[in-house]
Structure 1
Amino acid sequence: MEPESHKLYHVHSFHSRNFLDTFFSSKPEMPFTYEGLRYPMEKFQNAFSTGNFKGDMLIDISVGPIIHHLYEAQEYFRDIILLKPTEHCIVEVKKWINSRTGAFDWSHASTIATEVAGKSDQCEEKEIGLRKVITHVVKFDLNKENLTDPIGLPQADCLVLRSILEAISKDLDGFVRNLKRFSKLLKPGGNLMFYGVLNCTFYVVGGERFHAVKYNESDLRSMLSNEGYVITQFEIFQRKSESDLIDFDSIVFCTAYKEQKL
């Protein structure tokens, strides 16, 4: 199937709860327990715990209404701002932040977070702490010069990109353009944390195929370098799960800092 026949996340949207149930639930039959939950939580936890990623504000731009990779961030940032392209996704996130009836149950993720951190008796505290530190959920629009117009955001100390560029870009040129635009949200000298899927062309939500940009390790290293990032960590994990819901072959987690212009 050609990319043009696939839907685009930020244009056509998907049902946020279906997305969470498919890729991030606690159901025994959910195939991505490691790749979608434990592995990213381990990577982000380990990175944050070094103390090299800290400051006043972190901006997270992730596909769908996911928050579980940010549990440890609450220890190192005063404010976390989430950027989302669809109202449906924003509503889903806010349900959880405000502990509303019918919100997605992330308790299985908070359990993993406390296990990874070696603090298995603090599940509830982890959830409460993350809810408090997520101070804003803001809509972004790729058609606007200021992505968050009419809201103007200060540049962040840390920028997290999780599987978003491959979901909103039609091709590699679009990937580069969107990386450049998102990078403007990060202070010179600030840190980038990137988590994505390599060699992916589609994923399925609610029986509908959504487009993903296919890129490899060499592509990503080159794009980050060209955008002025110095890579400090780069890890690739080969896919273990078996499922026709998404066709990636491996996961990449990397960190980098944005060079300060002289």
Structure 2
Amino acid sequence: MDSSAKEKDSTGHKIYHMHDCDSRQMLENFFSSNQDMVFEEDFLKFPIQNFRKTFKSGHIKGDILIDLSVGSIIHHLYSACGFFNHTIVLKVKDRCIMELKRWVDTRTGAFDWCHAAQLHADIEGNSEEIQNKEGEVRSAMQHVIKFHLEKENMTEPIDLPPADCIISAWLLDVICKDKDEFIKYLKKFSKFLKPGGHLIFVGSLEATYYTIHKEKFHIVTYDEEFVRGVLVGEGFKIDYCDVFRRKAESDLIDHKGVIFIAAHKEK
């Protein structure tokens, strides 16, 4: 088998971290305010509502939050960042780091997340909080670090302190070729947690691909039962789970729903 074959899944779909995946176009397709972006409920409203509910409960907080999420998304951090002293964002792709830093530094051409801030404000019932929220997230995102999936210490040469919470939103979906790799990388992500630490997982159920510039990229296929089983098998206790069933019609992605899980690592 040649190297190009090894870098694709069995259907020939490209792999997120092995091929050029346009991070800006990913945002436009799945997380933007564009009129033809039909996934507002799936990828914006549903996770935002659940992040707010989860953090509002007050039991997930501490010194360090580590974010391991797909692309250059930031909307999931609006509810989270105020509960931690330090937020560390880990990215596997340089292009995503550049995209994030462009937004943090308010540079010309940065992706506009105002619609996400507005959704948060609407849910909170306080439209005056929009600018404050954006300022909080920008202040929190001072540590954006590249990591390497195959290294034992994925942030080598940096040794990160153990986190009180890690968030993984859609990243395991796109970096894992199969369910064995899902388990493998979840185990590696879990090593960032301190005993008793919390994990928040967001993913797409029963999906096989997503599309960027007419190119199909691989998504590992799993259902709710699988994710629950893997988490329990890795020593997590599930505190909360919610599932949103897809309503939108689009061939950009073939997921059947989105799952949100909050869990903690049992000591």
TM-score by length of 1: 0.97
How many angstroms apart in 2 are the aligned matches of 1:72 and 1:234?
17
Deviation at 1:28, TM superposition (A): 1.5
Residue of structure 2 equivalent to 1:61: 68
Q: 2:173 aligns with which of 148, 156, 166?
A: 166
Contact preservation (8 Å) 2:97, 2:146: yes
Task: Name the SS for the 1:10 alignment partner.
Answer: coil
Q: 2:95 aligns with which of 72, 88, 97?
A: 88
Residue of structure 1 equivalent to 2:5: none
Deviation at 1:74, TM superposition (A): 2.2
Task: Name the SS for the 1:7 alignment partner.
Answer: coil
Residue of structure 2 equivalent to 1:18: 25
Residue of structure 1 equivalent to 2:254: 247
Aligned-partner residue type, residue 260 of structure 2: F
Residue segments in structure 1 that go unaligned for 5+ positions in a row: none
Q: 1:102 aligns with which of 90, 102, 109?
A: 109
Aligned-partner residue type, residue 259 of structure 1: E
1:229-262 Cα deviation digits (max 9, x unpaired): 00011111111111100011011111110011xx
Aligned length: 260
The list of structure 1 runs, each at least 4 consecutive aligned residues, that deviate by more than 3 angstroms after superposition, is 1-4
Aligned: 1:202 with 2:219 = no
Aligned-partner residue type, residue 172 of structure 1: K
Aligned: 1:221 with 2:224 = no
Q: 1:243 to 1:44 in 2, by over 3 A?
A: same
1:197-245 Cα deviation digits (max 9, x unpaired): 1101100011111101000111111100110000011111111111100
Task: Name the SS for the 2:85 alignment partner.
Answer: strand
TM-score by length of 2: 0.95
Deviation at 1:8, TM superposition (A): 0.9
How many angstroms apart in 2 are the aligned matches of 1:2 and 1:154?
34
How many angstroms apart in 2 are the aligned matches of 1:153 and 1:20?
28
User: Between the two proteins, what is the percent identity of the paired residues?
Assistant: 46
How many angstroms apart in 2 are the aligned matches of 1:97 and 1:2?
34
Residue segments in structure 2 that go unaligned for 5+ positions in a row: 1-7
Task: Name the SS for the 1:91 alignment partner.
Answer: helix
Aligned: 1:187 with 2:194 = yes
Q: 1:178 aligns with which of 168, 180, 185?
A: 185
1:131-183 Cα deviation digits (max 9, x unpaired): 00112111111121110111111111001010111110110000000000000
Aligned-partner residue type, residue 218 of structure 2: H
How many angstroms apart in 2 are the aligned matches of 1:71 and 1:11?
29
Contact preservation (8 Å) 1:35, 1:239: yes
Q: 1:51 aligns with which of 58, 71, 76?
A: 58
Deviation at 1:13, TM superposition (A): 3.4
- Cα RMSD after superposing both structures: 1.2
Q: 1:71 aligns with which of 63, 67, 78?
A: 78
Residue of structure 2 equivalent to 1:232: 239
Residue of structure 2 equivalent to 1:32: 39
How many angstroms apart in 2 are the aligned matches of 1:83 and 1:125?
24
